[in-house]
Amino acid sequence: MPELPEVDAVKQSLLKQVTGKRISRVEVFWPSIVKVPEDRKQFEEMLQGQELQSVDRKGKFLILHLDDYSLVSHLRMEGKYFIRNGEEPKDKHTHIIFTFEDGSSLHYNDVRKFGTMHLFDKGEEYNNKPLNTLGPDPIEGRFTTEYMYEQLQRTTRRIKTILLDQSVVAGFGNIYVDETLFRAGVHPERLGSSLDRETVKRIVEEGEKVIREAMEAGGSTIRSYSRSDGSRGEYQTKLFVYGKEGEPCPACRRPITKTKVGGRGTHVCYYCQE
């Protein structure tokens, strides 16, 4: 699943490629992707004639701002956007096409069809689900040691599970949680409530660093992720533990172990993370 850095890279790509374009037609081929409004035809009609003014991001969500509406898009496991110029055949995994007045089009492609779209009146997107349930981004000013320490005291869950909870902090996924906890020297199975402020501070600081570094590299292309211009992320070459099962730990040279925490595959060095 694309995490914050990958979604941010898609945002940057869309900003360059589609802002200022006016939609002439929308075609929805897989209606279940559109959650609000529930009627596919209403979704298509509402967007017709709208100019795409800007693109924002909150956690793992893209927010496409139009004249009168805001479109909230979650890519989930395999969602992607592609720009097409002129008449090109529709890919079998393309489920929504936004055609612009200049003849170009934005294709939403999703092999697994898990992605979602919510269309709200402009300004109402943050007052409704899914955005109103999200915690702060790891790169927001609200993601502080005190904020996280307070959150950890409220739960008996393990630290990895807490960091993956989008209502606590929005944008982390499996890749960057594993990397953050390794760099902070914290075992992913530690109970959040057992961590002292100094340890929480390390997690917050390393989490922000990891996310910012990954954003600068355009995210990580682990499987099929790419930006709307077709380019791929580069941060996968800088990962310390994620996907490195059996390889030597970069710090102690002992093998990285893959286990499960909360049902999620987890990469950890049992010697460097306590």
Catalytic residue among 11, 21, 60, 244: 60
Q: What is the mean pLDDT of residues 164-171?
A: 98
| Contact in structure between 70 and 31 (CB atoms under 8 Å) | no
Annotated binding site: 93, 112
- pLDDT, one tens digit per residue, over 118-156 is 999 999 999 999 999 999 999 999 999 999 999 999 999
Residues with Cβ within 8 Å of 36's Cβ and at least 6 positions away in sequence, in order, are 117, 118, 119, 120, 128
Kindly report, residue by residue over 70-111, the tens digit of the pLDDT: 999 999 999 999 999 977 788 999 999 999 999 999 999 999
Judge whether residue 41 has pLDDT over 50.
Answer: yes
CA angle 33, 77, 14 (to 5 degrees): 75
Selecting among 3, 6, 125, 179, the annotated active-site residue is 3
Residue type, 126: Y
CA distances from 234 to 22, 50, 75, 145, 215 (A): 32, 34, 19, 29, 10
Q: Are 134 and 167 in contact (CB under 8 A)?
A: yes
Domain boundaries, the chain: 4-133, 145-268
Instruction: Determine whether 2 is an active site residue.
Output: yes
Sheet strand arrangement including 52-58: 34-36, 116-121, 69-74, 61-66, 52-58
Handedness of CA 205, 179, 133, 232 (dihedral sign): positive
Q: What is the CATH number of domain 4-133?
A: 3.20.190.10
User: Does residue 164 carry a pLDDT above 90?
Assistant: yes
Residues flagged as binding site for DNA: 93, 112
Confidence bin at 1 (pLDDT 50/70/90): confident
Q: Strands of 79-85's sheet, edge to edge?
A: 23-28, 94-100, 104-110, 79-85
C-beta of residue 159 within 8 angstroms of C-beta of residue 177: no
Average pLDDT for 158-177: 98
By mean pLDDT, which of 65-74, 207-216, 224-233 is the weakest? Answer: 224-233
Q: Which residue has the tokens 């990958």?
A: 6
Is residue 136 within 8 A of residue 147, CB to CB? The reply is yes
Quote the CA–CA distance of 110 and 131 in Å, as a whole number: 21
β strands within the chain, DSSP E: 23-28, 34-36, 52-58, 61-66, 69-74, 79-85, 94-100, 104-110, 116-121, 257-261, 264-268
What are the structure tokens assigned to 67, written together?
A: 């004249």
- Mark whether 60 is an active-site residue: yes
Q: What is the C-alpha to C-alpha distance for residues 267 and 274, in angstroms, rounded to an integer? A: 14
Whether 255 is catalytic is no
How far is 226 from 79, CA to CA, in rounded Å? 10
Instruction: Work out the mean pLDDT of the chain and round it to a whole number.
Output: 95
**3 in active site:** yes
Contact 62, 10 (CB under 8 A): yes
pLDDT tens digits, 219-271: 886 555 444 555 656 788 899 999 999 999 999 999 999 999 999 999 999 99
Of 22, 76, 90, 264, which is the active-site residue?
264
Per-residue pLDDT at 225: 45
pTM over 0.95: no
Say which CATH class 145-268 falls into.
Answer: mainly alpha
